Amino acid sequence: MKRVFQEFLRTAIGKQMKSPRWRICSQVAVNQMDHASGALYVKFFFKEADKQVALEMVNLLKNAFKEMLEEYDWLHESTRQKALKKLDEMLALIGYPEFIRRTKDLDEYYKLLHIYPNDTFVQIITEMSRWSVENSYRKLVEPVQRTEFNAAASIVNAFYSPLKNAIVFPAAILQAPFFDRTFPKAMNFGNIGSVIGHEMIHGFDDRGSQFDYQGNLHDWWDSKTKANFKERKNCFMEEYNNFTVPGTDLFINGMLTLSENIADNGGIKVAFRAYRNYIKQIGHEEKRLPGLEHLDMDQIFFLSSAQMWCGHSRPAALIRHILTGQHAPLRFRVNGVVVNQPDFIKAFKCPSNSAMNAITKCSLW
């Protein structure tokens, strides 16, 4: 069975070596016992001060996005007010659920999970799966708890929940290189700020926009604004459809990646607005970085944002990603975004009608 599975991974994503057993076991533990593993992570690696700084950044980004919503001339006033209401009611779940720091409450959460020292790996997995399914079934007959933190604190990821109208940032993503409260603000806003903005925009993309401020599936858009939205999202779809991925003869699927492309483009715009608002508040520019004095801090913002997407993919994995992934390949999460950003073009003084300053630009949020 192991050989068959490894052959599948080799064919599907180009993975040549099988993972060591300890890695497989740790991944299972994190996936199946998310809050237990999260409790350990928070205990040893997360600082409460980081949570407070992250919450402050969320508020700065919400204020920046509010300013932008008030400026858009393509929004009808009735829809604008509903969008502002949705933004105002959007929850920010940061770090971890509070109960995982209390041993008694954590034990209560897992009280129906029965694992014993002599259990085999298969028995443990079976029991975890049973408990997880039954836990999910119980929630089907319960009202949605908007403040419930469903993600493992130990995973490096971020989410938007349309049913809760909530953005979720586990503790593990609030670490370097994405975030450090001692970093210059340009770096933090460029890194985690763009991620916060990205998740915030998901509440207003082609999917999230179908839910109201309480997470109900409800059409709250007037017909004129809806038509304007469609025209602007189609611009992104056509733009990304024309991106060819180097090393392949494949084009990006602009429809499949639409929601993420909207969030990438809007998120960095909101983050930069929030950063410039912060600079206005303190009344002066940040000091330039030692060794990088030739770059101003606006440029550092965009470089920090781009740094998140540095990576290398095996050819097989890249092709699979292009054909099935909801995110654009890494390079297009950078270059495909900044070509639409007037703030980037101004920061780097890109010549008119150059590769990074095309005549046609897409803009939604």
Task: Name the average pLDDT for the chain.
Answer: 91
Band of pLDDT at residue 5, cut at 50, 70 and 90: low
The domains located in the chain, with CATH, are: 48-97+148-348 (3.40.390.10)
Radius of gyration (C-alpha) of the chain in whole angstroms: 22
List, for residues 208-247, the tens digit of each pLDDT value. Answer: 999 999 999 989 999 999 999 999 999 999 999 999 988 8
b or e along 226-237 (b: 16 or more beta carbons within 10 Å of the residue's beta carbon)? eebbeebbebbb
Q: Report the distance separating Cα 235 and Cα 364, nearest Å.
A: 9
Looking at the predicted structure, is the pLDDT value of residue 19 above 80? no
pLDDT at 158: 94
Q: Report the distance separating Cα 181 and Cα 358, nearest Å.
A: 36
pTM for this predicted structure? 0.87
List, for residues 72-87, the tens digit of each pLDDT value. Answer: 999 999 999 999 999 9
Band of pLDDT at residue 299, cut at 50, 70 and 90: very high
pLDDT at 320: 86
Residues acting as catalytic residues: 199, 264
